[in-house]
Amino acid sequence: MKTTRKYTMGARAATVEATRRRIIDALVSLSGERPFAEITLETVAERAGTTVQTVLRRFGSKDGLLAEAIEAAMVEIEEERRTSPGDVATALRLVVDHYETRGRTALLMLAQEGHDDVARKATDRGKAMHRAWVRDVFAPATDDEAVLDLLVVATDVYTWKLLRIDRGHSRSTVERRMRQLVDVVLASTSPITA
């Protein structure tokens, strides 16, 4: 009897977690399609194949859902971009892969940051995460703040946008151009003045 109950509780917990994950994935997906202000709990529930009541039961409110979804996305992004320090080729491949998958969503959030607190909090975290990633991957060159600034720009989502979307370059060309920018910055061993 205890074995059956443990199985039932385990199955129930797995179902609850699967529903929670579907709801978060639905919000993350929708945030790449429209501004946060246009995303309703009804839309999230419909996309997740559940009810608004279930969304509220799991997250308490739209703000609660947004906070958990942003946290989940940040954890995924950190994992997607995990790179050994000094491995420039892998770092650039991963960051371009990341932008190919999530770049348009990041650009949509950046477009909202001036008037939406949720978007601003998400983009502030994303910017800090990108800067920390650059600092770690390109160390020790990034001990110089000017070099760090330049490497952040060379690997930024806006750089990807300019090359990939605005110029229409292929993914591989974007990666090569970013590599050229990074190589030029890294070749500059003397401190750069402000």
Structure tokens at 86: 């000094």
Q: Which CATH number fits domain 1-69: 1.10.3720.10, 1.20.1740.10, 3.40.50.11890, 1.10.357.10?
A: 1.10.357.10
What is the pLDDT, as a whole number, of residue 94?
97
Whether the per-residue pLDDT at 76 is higher than 60: the answer is: yes
Q: What pTM, to 2 d.p., does this model score?
A: 0.82
What is the pLDDT, as a whole number, of residue 36?
86
HEC sequence for 11-31: HHHHHHHHHHHHHHHHHHHHH
Tell me what percent of the residues of the chain surpass a pLDDT of 70. 92
More confident residue, 179 or 77: 179
Rg of the chain on CA atoms, in Å = 20
Residue 135 to residue 149: CA distance in whole angstroms? 9
Name the residue ranges covered by the structural domains of the chain: 1-69, 81-194
Structure tokens at 55: 């969304």
pLDDT band at 13 (very low <50, low <70, confident <90, very high): confident
pLDDT band at 151 (very low <50, low <70, confident <90, very high): very high
| Per-chain mean pLDDT for the chain | 90
Residue 136 parent element (H or E): helix 117-137
What is the pLDDT, as a whole number, of residue 79?
92
More confident residue, 6 or 171: 171
Residue with tokens 């199955």, as numbered in its chain:
11
| Cβ 30 vs Cβ 44: under 8 Å | yes
Structure tokens at 111: 């477009």
**pLDDT tens digits for range 84-114:** 999 999 999 999 999 999 999 999 999 999 9
Residue 155 to residue 137: CA distance in whole angstroms? 11
Torsion sign across C-alpha atoms 26, 28, 29, 32: positive
Residue 148 to residue 54: CA distance in whole angstroms? 45
Cβ neighbours of 110 (radius 10 Å): 18
**pLDDT tens digits for range 17-63:** 899 999 999 998 898 899 988 999 999 999 999 999 999 999 999 98
